[in-house]
Amino acid sequence: MKKRQVSTRLVLEDGSEYSGWSFGKARSQAGEVVFTTGMAGYPQSLTDPSFRGQILVSTYPLVGNYGVPVNPKTVEPFFDEQGIPLHFESSRVQVSAFVVAEACEEPSHFACGASLSVWLEKNNVPGIYGIDTRALTERLRESGVMMGKILVEGSREVTMDSGLFPHPVADVSPEEIRTYRPAGVDAGERLPRIALVDCGAKANIYRCLLARKVEIIRIPWNHDLSGIEYDGLFLSNGPGDPKACGRTIALVRRAFSLGKPIFGICLGNQIMALAAGGDTYKLPYGHRGQNQPCIEIGTGTSPRCYITSQNHGYAVRRESLPKTWEPWFVNANDGTIEGIRSTQGPFSAVQFHPEGCPGPRDTEFLIDRFLEDIVY
């Protein structure tokens, strides 16, 4: 018997409304409404901590056609021997809600353990389908991202501000220090030791580093490096305004004086810029998707353009960079800064995701460059 359709509305803070039907958990929910241009990879996007507290709109019309790679009996994710999710970017769905034009009810894929709707319901996350996501995306591009709420018929009413997270990084960052070592490596073997400041790191960052035979010391966002021996510092992605991460900024500022290699991605790029004395600002609608073109500049050769995976709503203000820092990558669409580097030390960062999950991994070589700078 086909499940009864439940009327659902998406209401934006400017008063505009979009009517559709409920899928996932039938509950009302508020959050900042943003859109992604990715054509696939929704299991990874929905579990990306950088989306914490946001209502995600998919511009691709059909979503859910290959289901979700979970345990079909429990609808729980699979993990490797170190507790890292195998197919997701964290162990839970991070978005507040999901907005699609059409949600596939009968997925088909060899790894499918549950439908998208069943998985969202298991994680208590609502969705709405049957709306014109093209018109919604156009409004968000013209007016900028804004708060919104999904109202499900028969569900408790919510307010716009109920979807605000006072400090989303604190909500997704781990609370304890932990060490990870690659599988199959002798316990006594000395490996390059990377201190990873986890502000909501995607699981594929861990996978990429461990595949390169390094030891990872995971550090919470608000911890310091006192007493921690490391060969290189890695600044992860994460949600929200980088200026809310004052303790992380202070940590990086102190780390500059040690002269050890530092590499940042996404939020880590913004934090590094702030630690260097630069400034950041909020973009009108951000860069979210797996098809963002970025041009590498200042290499002395012909500029190269890479297709990158991105998820961020803030950017580095170009004119704020100190004289000892320079732009490294720029966005080919709008000219915003997509990477910075120091001219006086082994410090660099990019706004996109070299580990690209989901999305292209054309720039994964940047992780290798970072590791090549490490002396241990």
CB 84 within 8 A of CB 118: no
Q: Which residues are catalytic?
A: 266, 353, 355
Q: Residue 2's pLDDT is what?
A: 57
For residues 15 and 35, give the distance between their C-alpha atoms in angstroms, rounded to a whole number.
Answer: 18
pTM: 0.96
Pairing mode, strands 193-198 and 215-220: parallel
- CA 363, distance to chain mean position in Å, is 16
Cβ neighbors of 335 (< 8 A, separation 6 or more) are none
Residue 83 Rama label (left phi>0; alpha psi -120 to 50; beta): left
Cβ neighbors of 250 (< 8 A, separation 6 or more) are 275
Q: What are φ and ψ of residue 250, in 5° steps?
A: -65, -40
CA angle 187, 192, 198 (to 5 degrees): 100
Q: Could you tell me which residues are beta bridge partners of residue 330? A: 295, 337
* Identity at 116, one-letter amino acid code: L
Closest CA to 239 of 219, 264, 267: 267
Tell me how far apart the 2 most distant CA atoms of the chain are, in Å: 67
Buried b (16+ CB within 10 A) or exposed e, 301-315: eeeeebbbbbbbbbb
Q: Residue 346's pLDDT is what?
A: 97
Question: Would you write out the chain's pLDDT as a tens digit for each of its 376 residues?
Answer: 456 799 999 999 999 999 999 999 999 999 999 999 999 999 999 999 999 999 999 999 999 999 999 999 999 999 999 999 999 999 999 999 999 999 999 999 999 999 999 999 999 999 999 999 999 999 999 999 999 999 999 999 999 999 988 899 999 999 999 999 999 899 889 999 999 999 999 999 999 999 999 999 999 999 999 989 999 999 999 999 999 999 999 999 999 999 999 999 999 999 999 999 999 999 999 999 999 999 999 766 678 999 999 999 999 999 999 999 999 999 999 999 999 999 999 999 999 999 999 989 999 999 999 999 998 7
Buried b (16+ CB within 10 A) or exposed e, 147-174: bbbbbbeebeebebeebebeebbbbbbe
- Catalogue all structural domains in the chain, each as residue range(s) with its CATH number: 7-164 (3.50.30.20), 169-372 (3.40.50.880)
Cβ neighbors of 138 (< 8 A, separation 6 or more) are none
